[in-house]
Amino acid sequence: MNKKEIENHLSCAMKQATPNVLDEILAGCHQQEQVQSAKRTVLKFSGFKMTSSILAACLVLFLCVGGMQFYNANYRISSVIELDVNPSIELSVTKAGKVLEAKAVNQDAVEILDDMELRGVEMKVAINAIIGSMVQHGYLDDLDSAILVTVSNDNAEKAEVVRKEVVSNIEECLKENKKEATIIEQKLEKNDNLSEIAAEYGISSSKANFIQKIAEKDPSLSIDDLALMSITDLANLIKTRGIDISDLTNYENVKDIVDSLEGQTANTITDSSETETEATSSTVDTTAGGTTQEAAVSTTTETTEVTEKTTAIPESSAPASSQDQITEGKKIKISDAYYKNGIIRVEFEGFVSWKNPTVAVSDNVGDTYPAMIVEYQEDYCDIYVDGITHSGEYEFTIAGIKVKNTENYTTVIGSLDIYLEQLIVLETTAPETTPSETTMPESTGTAETETSEAEGLGFKHFAAEISTKSAEGSIVVTSLENTTGDQWEIKFSKAVDWIAPVITVTDELGNTYVVSILEKNSKKCVLAIDALTAGHTYTIKISGIALRDTQKTTEVVTFLAIISN
Amino acid sequence: MFLMSLVSAQEEIKKATNKDKSLDYRKMSNELLLIRIAQGEQDAFKQLYENTDRSVYSFILSIMRNSQDAEEIMQDTYLKVWTSAHLYTDQGKALAWIFTISRNLCYMRLRNRKRESDIPIEDLELGESCPQIENTVDRLVLESALEVLSEEERQIVLLHAGTGMKHREIAKTLGLPLATVLSKYSRSIKKLKINLSEERGGINE
C-alpha cells in the first residue's frame, strides 16, 4: 500500500467514523440550561432553610449541652483556617480562638513554620508569626502577591466572622511589614474529590477546591497545570482570563484582585510566573536572539564541565531509544525536542524552574559538541549547538532544572533525531560538484528542458538542467507535480542515489522557504514546501544527490512558477 | 388590504433576514462564531459544529483510540464549548481552544480509568477501535494508525489524512513547529506502510 492509498483509506475511515451527535448535544445544552436555572432556585431556598436549621440546631445545642461549652471552647476544633501562598498552612482553632494545631501541608510550609510552637497561642498571634515568617522567606515580596484564605466551620456565619478576623489580622500584619498582597477569601464547599486531588498534587484541600472551581469555569485549563501554580499566578490568571469567581469568594475581594492587578502587564500564565523562575542569568544569555557565534565560543569551558557531570549520571537515567521524545529525570517530562538552524528546542510538559542551567550535547558515537542554553523559560529551553554536520541521533543533558515549586534541582536527559535535510540552508557542506550554471529559463532558454503547465493546479514548471559535465551524464527533473496541498513530487530522468540530500527553495527575492523531504527513492522524491504563493517563481535546488552508483554528488535545480493558488 | 400587504411584506423581510443570517454564519470564522455562541446564538453553534466536528472527533479519537469514548467526549466537548464560549479570548485559535477542552476531558477520563483499574494508561486494552466503519480496509488502516503511532503522530496523521487539515494549520493548532509536523507525518506514514505490509504478509501466510 502506498502513501496515497493510506491517506485515502484514512480519509474514508474518518468520514465514516465521525458520528453526528449534534442533536444530542443541542438537547444536552437545553437540559444544562434548565438544570442551572433550577439549581439557582433551589440554592436560594436551601440557603434559607439551611441557615434556619443551623440556627435551630445551635439553640438546641446551647440548651442541652451547656455543660460541654467549656470543653468545646478550649479543646475542640471549631474552625480550620487554611492559608495558601505557595506555602500552605492549616491552622485548627478552637471556639475561644486558640490554635490547637498548625500543620504544614507542603514542603515550603515546613520551612515557614520551622520550629515555631503555635499550639495554645491566640489565633492573631499565630497569623502574625506565619505572615511574618513568609515575609522573611521572601514569599510576599512581589507587588502582585496573593494569599488565599479559607475558613471551614460547620456554622457558616461563624466561618464568616472568623474569616473576617483572619483577613483583618493578615492586613494588619502586612501593613506592619510594609508589604502588599491581594487577599482572596474563599468559601469552601466540601467535596469528596477534593482530598483526592489534594493528595495527588500535594496541595491543601482549599487550594484543590480553588483550582477545581477555576477549571470548571474555564474548561481549557487543566487541574494538572493549575496545581503547579502559586496563588499569585492563579490570581493573575483569573484576572487575565476574566474568570468570574464571585460565587467562590467574597465579591468585594474579586474586585480587589482585578483592581490590584490592573496595572500589570502580565497577560498569560507564563508571564506571571516568570517572577518565580529562580534562574540566575548572570552566566547565560537569556535573550531570544542570543544564537550568535560569540555565544558558542564562550561556552567551550562550560561544556567540558557539563560533560564531566554527564558521566556521573547513574545508568538508570541513560538515554533510551531512537525516538525524538524522551522522558527522563525526576518528574520532568520532555514533551518535544527538535532541531532547527543550530538550535535544539526542548519543550517540557508542565512548568519548570531553572538555576544556573548547563547543557551537554553528544552524538550516538559519543562525540560531544559545544553547546549552551541560550534561552530558558518555564516550559521550554533553546540549546545552541555548534558543529552538527550529520544527521543522526543526538543526546542532550540539561542540569540545573527542577519541576516548578519542588525542592531539588535535577538533571534531565533526552535525545532527538536530527535530519539535516530539514534545514532550509546548509552552508557548511560543500558537495563535490563541478562548476555549474544556474540560470532562470526565461533568461537563457537553453536550460529549459521541459515546460509543463497544469492550468487546473495553477502552476508552471520549468525543468532546468545543471550541467555536471561528467561522463556519467546529468540528472534532469522530468516532472514536478503538486500532489496534495503543499506537497510536490519531483521525478528524475535517471536513477539516483541520495548521499547527503539538502534541498533549498528560494524565490526571486532570495527569500527561503521551509522544505522537508517526505519521501525519496531512486526515481523521485516528495517534498513538503510551506507557504508558496501565487505570482512568484521559486528555485528548487537539490544537492547531495548522485547518479546511481557513481557516488559523485551533484546539484539539480528546477524552477516553479505559481500562477494561481 | 393595506394592512395585509404590510404584514406579508414584513414577513418577507423577516424571511430574507433569516436567510441572510444563515448565510452569514457559513461565512463566519470560527472565532466569530464563538463570540456569537457566547451570546447564546444556537445557529452559530450549529455552524461551528459543522465546521469542526471531523477535526474534533479525529483529535479525540487520536487520544482515546476508542470510538465509543471519543463520541462521548465529543459531546462533552461541545457542551463545554456552549457553556464556556464567553471565556474564549480571540487570538485566532478557536480550534486550538476547542482541542484544549477536549484534551482536558480525554485526560480526565483516562486518569479516572487508570484510578479504577490500576493499569498504566498506555497499557489499557482498548478493544475494537471503530466497529462502525463498514469498509474493512479503511477500518484496518485506521486501526493500524491508532495502534502503531504515538499520540502526537496519531493527531498529525488523523488531522491531515483523515480530515484534510493542512500541515500549516495543524502546526498552528497543535502549537508545533511546521518542520516537526512535516517530519512526524512523513515518519508516521512510513511506520504505517511497514505495519500494513507486515499485516498483509501475515494474512497471506
CA-based nearest distance B97→chain A, Å: 7
pLDDT number for residue B45: 92
- Interchain proximity A10–B162, CB inside 8 Å: yes
Query: From CA A90, how far away is CA A165, in angstroms rounded?
Result: 16
Q: Give yes or no for residue B5 having a pLDDT over 90.
A: no
CA-based nearest distance B11→chain A, Å: 27
The interface residues of chain B toward chain A in range 76-115, judged by CB-CB distance below 8 A, are 78-80, 82-84, 87, 89, 97, 100-101, 103-105, 107
Q: Which of A253, A36, A487, A173 is nearest to B40 (CA)?
A: A36
Q: Give yes or no for residue B123 having a pLDDT over 70.
A: no
Q: How many residues does chain A have?
A: 565
Cβ atoms of residues A554 and A547 within 8 Å: yes
pLDDT tens column, B76-115: 999 999 988 888 887 778 899 999 999 999 988 888 777 6
* Pairs of residues, one from chain A and one from chain B, whose beta carbons lie less than 8 Å apart: 168
pLDDT number for residue A119: 81
Say what the pTM is. 0.43
Cβ atoms of residues A421 and A518 within 8 Å: no
Q: Which residues of B touch A15 (CB under 8 A)?
A: 54
ipTM of predicted complex: 0.82
Query: From CA A371, how far away is CA B203, in angstroms rounded?
Result: 50
pLDDT number for residue A241: 77
Q: Give yes or no for residue B67 having a pLDDT over 80.
A: yes
Q: Which residues of A touch B74 (CB under 8 A)?
A: 19, 21
In B, minimum Cα distance to A36 occurs at B83
Q: Give yes or no for residue B161 having a pLDDT over 60.
A: yes
Q: In which band, very low, low, confident or very high, does the pLDDT at B63 lie, cut at 50, 70 and 90?
A: very high
Contact with chain B for residue A2, Cβ under 8 A: yes
In B, minimum Cα distance to A520 occurs at B186
Q: Which residues of A touch B168 (CB under 8 A)?
A: 486, 530-531
Q: Which residues of B touch A20 (CB under 8 A)?
A: 53
Query: Which of left, alpha, beta for A137 (phi over 0: left; psi -120 to 50: alpha)?
Result: alpha
**Any idea what DSSP says for residue A265?**
-
Q: What are phi and psi of A542, to 5 degrees?
A: -110, 120
3-class DSSP state of B178: helix
Q: In which band, very low, low, confident or very high, does the pLDDT at B54 lie, cut at 50, 70 and 90?
A: very high
Task: Enumerate the H helices of B65-161 as residue ranges.
Answer: 67-84, 94-117, 136-148, 151-157
pLDDT number for residue A158: 81
Q: Which residues of A touch B75 (CB under 8 A)?
A: 21, 24-25, 28
In B, minimum Cα distance to A19 occurs at B71
Q: Which helix (H) or strand (E) holds A252?
A: helix A251-261
> Which residues have a Cβ under 8 Å from the Cβ of A481 and sit 6 or more positions away?
A454, A488, A489, A491
pLDDT number for residue B60: 94
pLDDT tens column, A503-524: 888 877 777 787 888 888 888 8
Low-confidence spans in chain A with pLDDT less than 50: 42-43, 45, 251-258, 260-330, 421-458, 460-472
CA-based nearest distance B86→chain A, Å: 9
The interface residues of chain B toward chain A in range 14-73, judged by CB-CB distance below 8 A, are 42, 45-46, 49, 53-54, 57-58, 61, 67, 71
- Interchain proximity B42–A242, CB inside 8 Å: no
Mean pLDDT, to the nearest integer, of B28-45?
Answer: 89
Query: From CA A118, how far away is CA A102, in angstroms rounded?
Result: 7
Q: Which of A246, A268, A257 is nearest to B89 (CA)?
A: A268
pLDDT number for residue A335: 83
- Interchain proximity B42–A26, CB inside 8 Å: yes
Q: Which residues of A touch B71 (CB under 8 A)?
A: 19, 21
Mean pLDDT, to the nearest integer, of B165-169?
Answer: 89
Q: In which band, very low, low, confident or very high, does the pLDDT at B119 lie, cut at 50, 70 and 90?
A: low
pLDDT tens column, B127-142: 566 777 888 888 889 9
Report helix, strand and coil shares of chain B as percent, to nearest 5.
Answer: 80, 0, 20
Mutation pick from B111, B165, B180 vs chain A, by most beta carbons of A within 10 Å, is B180
pLDDT number for residue B98: 93
- Interchain proximity B179–A243, CB inside 8 Å: no
- Interchain proximity A17–B61, CB inside 8 Å: yes
**Any idea what DSSP says for residue B123?**
G
pLDDT number for residue A66: 58
Query: From CA B82, how far away is CA A499, in angstroms rounded?
Result: 54
- Interchain proximity B192–A7, CB inside 8 Å: no
Query: From CA A58, how far away is CA A62, in angstroms rounded?
Result: 6
> Cα A481–A487–A491 angle (5° rounding)?
40
In A, minimum Cα distance to B129 occurs at A17
Mutation pick from A2, A12, A241, A322 vs chain B, by most beta carbons of B within 10 Å, is A12
pLDDT number for residue A311: 29
The interface residues of chain A toward chain B in range 475-504, judged by CB-CB distance below 8 A, are 485-486
Query: From CA A207, how far away is CA A205, in angstroms rounded?
Result: 5
Report residue A64 as a C-alpha cell.
442541652
Contact with chain A for residue B154, Cβ under 8 A: no
